[in-house]
Structure 1
């Protein structure tokens, strides 16, 4: 990779994304945003100050989808590629079902970055889920975080409620509460939010508590002007068209004409996903309720790609079924075309031009349209538009003056506007020419990338050139904004983890000698503590003994992991250990044993239930048997002959260390774990190198036979130092 330019990571978790023949409209997740991020990746990669652009998305290996989506790396150009990360299994899932799997996506992206020759300079999330991912990666690597929402949950919620959809159904279908909560966090944390229109800032982000204090910049989207060229180019140069272009035109004409009794009339074109928010039924109501409009023009609605409606998701199935019922209700046979599929790369540009050649109109009847890419494309081809007055079309029409904005909830407004353009040739020509000229002025990829790069450079150090240096002089500094625990852990090969009580602390002289050694080896050795203490009690102990903040804190017997001075919790670990964790059922099961004493509230955590136990009469065996009888999967840890901790079956200090190894790719031979008691046992028996201090409890004597465990003569921290020398982690 060229190290002189920027390494950018664009994140778009949902949708089926590939570099060719995008399946736009296949379902609710494959709309204009999908095309936008692919085109943006390619365009940014052509910029002279960019070394590489990765578009990071989800790996999908599903018989129901193309094999392309199962390719881990797809090169788009010399400097651009699609990177696919597996999470939540291998089957394709709609975006609302991916929320529980984003921590896995983050962890595996960190692993991917660890294997690159450098770390990204910018993380840019697209849509709410990818915004969350980019926010977490940005925190890990201390890099600027950019966000483009494309559509926002609060606005969507308001529109769905106004359309009559119940709150229960909205929550079930869209997981809207989780989405809105995440968007609030993302808005608060983003260094810059890029929108395509001013309306997004005011009418969408303005609905959020954190909206007024966020930083925004408006950068209109770009389109490929060679692909979306004016309709009259095709008319004038018909003999110069490629055979593929001629075949595409004939195929489209035949497909549409088989629906229409009078194919020579102008036609109204709609192109969108089969989603309730796109308000296709509102458009059909408008057309079906007006006989004069039906006499003036046919109508064609390309509502995604379908094979069998019954096999589709509920939302798409409901929309398509209603379309067919409306066709019958208004008796639109011979007037309404509803083709089953289209090829976006070749057929859609030709569709716009074919509609323009018929002197037709393009309609976007969405309840809210945050982006409006199809409106820009249609305008570029010289096709006048009628579009919703809620969202991106407001700015597009203001810039291009290529059509009429309407309140799509009022069918009479849709009808009136369509008629106004269809009946008046002068208005049609005015809107057509305005669109062609306006798009070329306001919506080119060159202009879009120049503005985007200008924003990126504002938040980067000046090693990227004089332009960045000049811009940075006016921007707020970010270098000290947050610690870079990700950069540090990925940059080191050696790791030492130690228990606190009776291992790290116990002898002050050796403790401070150890701390001096760790500081001297800071550039090659990361270190952390693993303890049964809660985070609060861990910090108390470290304060008491004047211990500086380590790189990693493993607390509450391995159920919580924190990084760096600002104690960022590893949510991926929390998600991982939550599998089959049923704390309330465990408490109910153990409540029958009167000799089991529930610890005070400070000892309880979300993933740790703690008791005091006098283990006489084999009481520990009785507890284990009862938990097994009730089929409650959990881990029981007994230490110091009095402390009983119940953890998720995936949790322990040892498993937490293994997780760190996996996530940051430390080799086992370069990881030393140190302890003194029974609750350190599983940490000491892993594949890493174990160190047991000289003052250890008898519970660990059985490990003297282990080839990967060293028993030191030194006690407390002196034993830890001995282990570091023994395993070659220092010196």
Structure 2
């Protein structure tokens, strides 16, 4: 249902340095045009009556090497737009390829944030595959549409790198390229809409994917900030009074450029990009360096990101910058070529375009591949003609704006010739400048972009709602349900929930069904997931909201049966089941259970009771320095799990993730593998048919030993704690 008050959209852009003002674009390979695009989109959407609220989620960075701005949990940009920073993978700044193992932590903490806010989004929109993964998981949990913008795609990058002679093993080690591609395939399978900047993206880039036909696509070209990127001649003819900061920025840029040039009044060839190999900076330097005529008529200024010391940069950036300097030296371009170390995006970059236009220069994008090319639009809006790569976005920009020249970026002679052709022909320069100014405003304003985006998002919601209504019961709504619940009943299956009088079981399930709006229902069992499902179905038990299976080694949700990836990431640390099993082969009194009893996070054995047997197993495991959880129950079942896994730890994780107070969780069990989850802050119920191994728990204040067996004992415990009344708010929690 489309809300009357407008849409609440959650945007995700996880990597890079994200803040509302003074963007440090080009600081590194991860702080590029995607960040600028997302911020401008959010800012413009927040001014629309069709938007109720918009939150941009990114990673919190508390690192002495970076501004304190990136460590601010919430940055209120305006009344409707916030930047929300979520911590994951520590607080130090790390490149995007190292973030993959921490994304499920980001998902979990975002769920906590959403529950605390008590405001579920209408749409989640991920930018780039890391954020796409996060948005996909959240969309599935909360039953809301997933929108995705790739910005750049893994398959095309992999293909390009292989053509350049890069080793695939090295690519996967450094870039996690195959993992990225696999994630992109999953996102395409789940996305309700994919937003692209050009038709070429759909055909040439998404067309390389197996799941390319599954999502619907919408081309919405990005906009530009017309107020900031105004034409160069305004400075001469307009009566507008510039802000002092803009005037200072202009003076600073002129001073910095003049520092490099012997003849500063010559036309300026301007380049503005990250120090990335595919940006092909060295191709342009070669084109300039090999053409003496071009050197004589124009200066070259390359703003290749932000740097203090090249030796401190990442290897790939260091290589690009070093090659640029070596080429400058090779062609003796001193006095003709400027290579400033930094630029202020907010104020200096617009002035750079206008200064280059006033000098009747050219902006060049020599990239080998270019999905869109936002800097081209900025240059054109300021009246600066362009020479750009004949690839992707530049083709559509040049076609729509009727301006500029497209070239083969690998042909240095063609590139140099195109630049000269514009500079030496005043009529062509004037026509290109005029067309760029007029047509960027016609085709590429942020207002029109936001209008198209809102129209498309409403359509996405309508289609999603139609699918939602068609289904008998929505499979993806578990997140919305759990986000609203404050009470949960969690029970073991065998000999607790099941095993007694069927009528008593049905009475219990009817009670839970009648109060389902207030109380969640979960099971925590030693059974494998499939086995748990089978026995619940056999006994006519509805699928619980949560299934904790394999003695806490897996958590699954609702009808969708999606497993909790955050939990698996959490428990997988320092877990090596194959090595543990090989070391336990020396023990002759344990026997591995059947293959169906084993999982990736649980090794199961059968062991008869005996003095010092458990001590021997602990000795073998600890002398090999394994971290583990060992559970022995019913005098026969021996389970070894990751040290972070158990039914009790799973319950505490669920409490943390979904904001369920432990004191509002009622836990029921009957045997030793229930002991840990019965202890502590949750309300505990031990049914009357319990195993003697639970006898030591009688002294615990928060555990009630029922007289009745199985489901009847659970009902007795519910009445003892007056659990239904508390959930309904009919009495305080403390009673």
TM-score range, shorter chain: over 0.9
Q: Does 1:595 align with 2:585?
A: no
Q: 2: distance between equivalents of 1:574 and 1:540? A: 23
Secondary structure of 2:645 counterpart: coil
Find the counterpart in structure 2 of residue 273 from structure 1: 274
Q: Does 1:521 align with 2:512?
A: no
Secondary structure of 1:460 counterpart: helix
TM-score, length of structure 2 as denominator length: 0.96
Secondary structure of 2:88 counterpart: coil
Map residues 166-565 of structure 1 onto 2, 5 A cutoff. Answer: 166-237=167-238, 240-460=241-461, 480=471, 482-507=475-500, 508-565=502-559
Q: 1: distance between equivalents of 2:724 and 2:238? A: 75
Find the counterpart in structure 1 of residue 688 from structure 2: 694
Please say if residues 3 and 51 of structure 1, whose CA atoms lie closer than 8 Å, have aligned partners that are also in contact.
no
Q: Does 1:613 align with 2:607?
A: yes
Q: Does 1:24 align with 2:18?
A: no
Q: 2: distance between equivalents of 1:238 and 1:441? A: 24
Q: 1: distance between equivalents of 2:516 and 2:451? A: 40
Secondary structure of 1:300 counterpart: strand
The alpha-carbon deviation at position 297 of structure 1 amounts to 1.1
The alpha-carbon deviation at position 477 of structure 1 amounts to 5.4
* CA deviations over 1:264-323 (Å, ceiling 9, x no partner): 111111101111121111211221122222122110110011011111211211111111
Q: 2: distance between equivalents of 1:573 and 1:366? A: 42
The structure 1 residue matched to 2:579, chosen from 585, 590, 596, is: 585
Q: 2: distance between equivalents of 1:477 and 1:403? A: 48
Please say if residues 149 and 195 of structure 2, whose CA atoms lie closer than 8 Å, have aligned partners that are also in contact.
yes
* CA deviations over 1:515-544 (Å, ceiling 9, x no partner): 111111111000110001101111111122
Secondary structure of 1:213 counterpart: coil
The alpha-carbon deviation at position 160 of structure 1 amounts to 2.0
Q: 1: distance between equivalents of 2:167 and 2:293? A: 36
The alpha-carbon deviation at position 212 of structure 1 amounts to 2.4
Secondary structure of 1:106 counterpart: helix
Q: 2: distance between equivalents of 1:243 and 1:114? A: 45
Q: Does 1:670 align with 2:671?
A: no
Q: 1: distance between equivalents of 2:468 and 2:523? A: 32
Secondary structure of 2:275 counterpart: coil
- Structure 2 residue runs of 5 or longer lacking an equivalent are 726-735
Q: 2: distance between equivalents of 1:241 and 1:654? A: 64
Please say if residues 635 and 649 of structure 1, whose CA atoms lie closer than 8 Å, have aligned partners that are also in contact.
yes
The alpha-carbon deviation at position 213 of structure 1 amounts to 2.9
Q: Does 1:130 align with 2:131?
A: yes
Find the counterpart in structure 2 of residue 100 from structure 1: 101
* CA deviations over 1:367-399 (Å, ceiling 9, x no partner): 211121101101101111111122211211111
Q: 1:227 to 1:239 in 2, by over 3 A?
A: closer
Q: Does 1:165 align with 2:166?
A: yes
Q: 1:249 to 1:310 in 2, by over 3 A?
A: same
Find the counterpart in structure 2 of residue 468 from structure 1: none
Q: 1: distance between equivalents of 2:249 and 2:207? A: 44
* CA deviations over 1:622-643 (Å, ceiling 9, x no partner): 0101111110001111111111
What is the RMSD computed on CA atoms of the aligned residues?
Answer: 1.5
- Structure 1 residue runs of 5 or longer lacking an equivalent are 462-470
Find the counterpart in structure 2 of residue 573 from structure 1: 567
The alpha-carbon deviation at position 646 of structure 1 amounts to 0.6
Larger deviation, residues 276-285 vs 515-524: 276-285
Secondary structure of 1:650 counterpart: coil
The alpha-carbon deviation at position 729 of structure 1 amounts to 1.9
Please say if residues 475 and 558 of structure 2, whose CA atoms lie closer than 8 Å, have aligned partners that are also in contact.
no
Q: 2: distance between equivalents of 1:99 and 1:428? A: 47
Map residues 136-155 of structure 1 onto 2, 5 A cutoff. Answer: 136-155=137-156
Please say if residues 145 and 464 of structure 2, whose CA atoms lie closer than 8 Å, have aligned partners that are also in contact.
no
The structure 1 residue matched to 2:640, chosen from 642, 646, 667, is: 646
Find the counterpart in structure 2 of residue 62 from structure 1: 63
* CA deviations over 1:35-68 (Å, ceiling 9, x no partner): 1111111111111021111011111100011000
* CA deviations over 1:145-196 (Å, ceiling 9, x no partner): 1011111111111222223333233222211111100000111110000111
Larger deviation, residues 154-163 vs 541-550: 154-163
Q: 1:658 to 1:321 in 2, by over 3 A?
A: same
Larger deviation, residues 393-402 vs 672-681: 393-402
Please say if residues 475 and 559 of structure 2, whose CA atoms lie closer than 8 Å, have aligned partners that are also in contact.
no
Larger deviation, residues 176-185 vs 279-288: 279-288
Secondary structure of 1:537 counterpart: helix
Please say if residues 363 and 386 of structure 2, whose CA atoms lie closer than 8 Å, have aligned partners that are also in contact.
yes
Please say if residues 159 and 368 of structure 1, whose CA atoms lie closer than 8 Å, have aligned partners that are also in contact.
no
Please say if residues 57 and 82 of structure 1, whose CA atoms lie closer than 8 Å, have aligned partners that are also in contact.
yes
Q: 2: distance between equivalents of 1:599 and 1:178? A: 33
The alpha-carbon deviation at position 104 of structure 1 amounts to 0.4
Please say if residues 160 and 277 of structure 1, whose CA atoms lie closer than 8 Å, have aligned partners that are also in contact.
no
* CA deviations over 1:469-495 (Å, ceiling 9, x no partner): xx999x765674533111001111110
The alpha-carbon deviation at position 669 of structure 1 amounts to 1.7
The structure 1 residue matched to 2:721, chosen from 698, 713, 727, is: 727
The alpha-carbon deviation at position 244 of structure 1 amounts to 2.5
